[in-house]
């Protein structure tokens, strides 16, 4: 956690939708190989913050840096920087007309300009990383939700990103399928991937996160190691949120 340049740097990030201020100046740093977990009630701006990090949402002001390189700003080559930032969505968003391997290799072939054989070899590696090499030829409709999400992770991994963003990756899954996806995320952490995760998987946050950030009403309320956030939260809003969540 003492790298001179952090992996992802978010500085005074602001974003409004009409009159609603979704992000009221967010500062956030993710170090190399760190798994940072973002918690917060719905509407707290955590997904918006995440989506600003690869500019699926355009921030109103503030800076975002990836390994010191600007992500925000007019002169940025957005498609180039996005290849260095992997994203996993709540609803998987696999391409239904392509096989698992086709999903994983599309960007390799169309953006990286890899030949089909190179892209396929690379894509198979990525699918193997999520334990789905045997499903390469299957279409999304033929896969379970958990398998679909793992293919989506492989799709992002294939581009060898510097940081991975997870937007509630297990929220759309049946409970019994959540474990496989979390297992893949644990493996990624062991492999040294830098990850920023928005999720409600408290147990996973507790045992896998390096740091937990609690957001509310467009602000970072507090952050720290999971044992502190879950064990001895400083702020009333954090305590209230955690007790609400643990009741359910």
Partner 1 sequence: MTQWERFLDTFFNVGVLTRYAPDILAGVWVTVQLSLLIVVVGIGLGTLLAMLRAYRIRLLSLSIVVFADVFRAIPPLVLILLAFFGLPNAGLFLSSFVVLFLVLTLTLAAFAEEIIWAGITSVDRGQWEAARSTGIGFTGTLVWVVMPQALRVAIPPMTNRAIAITKMTALGTVIGVPDILNQATTAQSFSGNASPLMLAAIAYVLLFLPLVILARWLESRFSWRKA
What's the per-residue H, E or C state across 30-90? ECCCCEEEEECCCCCCHHHHHHHCCCCCCCCEEEEEECCEECCCCCCCHHHHHCCEEEECC
**Which residue of 39, 85, 208, 220 would you call a contact of partner 1, by CB under 8 A?**
85
Q: Which CB sits closer to partner 1, 64 or 205?
A: 64
CA distance 216 to 221: 6
Q: Which CB sits closer to partner 1, 47 or 199?
A: 47
148 binds partner 1 (CB under 8 A): yes
193 binds partner 1 (CB under 8 A): no
CA distance 100 to 110: 16
What SS3 state is found at 200?
coil
Q: What track of x and - describes contact with partner 1 for positions 95 through 134 (by CB under 8 A)?
A: xxx--------xx--xx-----------------------
156 binds partner 1 (CB under 8 A): yes
Burial of 140 (0-12, 13-18, 19+ CB in 10 A): buried
**Which residue of 46, 82, 122, 237 would you call a contact of partner 1, by CB under 8 A?**
82
Per CB under 8 A, residues contacting partner 1 are 54, 56, 79-80, 82-83, 85-87, 89, 91-97, 106-107, 110-111, 139-141, 148, 152, 155-156, 159
């Amino acid at each position: 956690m003492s790298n001179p340049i952090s992996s992802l740097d978010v500085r005074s990030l602001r974003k409004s939708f009409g009159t609603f201020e979704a992000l009221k100046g967010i500062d956030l740093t993710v170090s190399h190989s760190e798994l940072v977990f973002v918690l917060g009630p719905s509407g707290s701006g955590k997904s918006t913050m995440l989506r600003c990090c690869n500019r699926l949402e355009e921030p109103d002001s503030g800076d975002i840096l990836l390994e010191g390189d600007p992500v925000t700003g007019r002169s940025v080559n957005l498609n180039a920087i996005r290849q260095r930032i992997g994203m996993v969505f709540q609803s998987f968003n696999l391409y239904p007309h392509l096989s698992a391997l086709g999903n994983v290799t599309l960007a390799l072939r169309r953006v990286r300009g890899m030949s089909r054989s190179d892209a396929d070899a690379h894509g198979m590696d990525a699918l193997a990383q999520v334990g789905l090499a045997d499903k390469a030829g299957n279409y999304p409709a033929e896969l379970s939700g958990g398998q679909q999400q793992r293919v989506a992770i492989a799709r992002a991994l294939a581009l060898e990103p510097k940081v991975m963003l997870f937007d509630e990756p297990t929220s759309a899954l049946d409970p019994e399928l959540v474990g496989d996806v979390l297992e893949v995320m644990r493996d990624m952490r062991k492999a040294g991937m830098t990850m920023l995760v928005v999720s409600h998987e408290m147990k996973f946050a507790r045992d896998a996160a390096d740091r937990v950030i609690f957001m509310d009403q467009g602000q970072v309320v507090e952050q720290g190691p999971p044992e502190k956030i879950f064990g001895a939260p400083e702020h009333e809003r954090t305590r209230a949120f955690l007790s609400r969540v643990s009741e359910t």
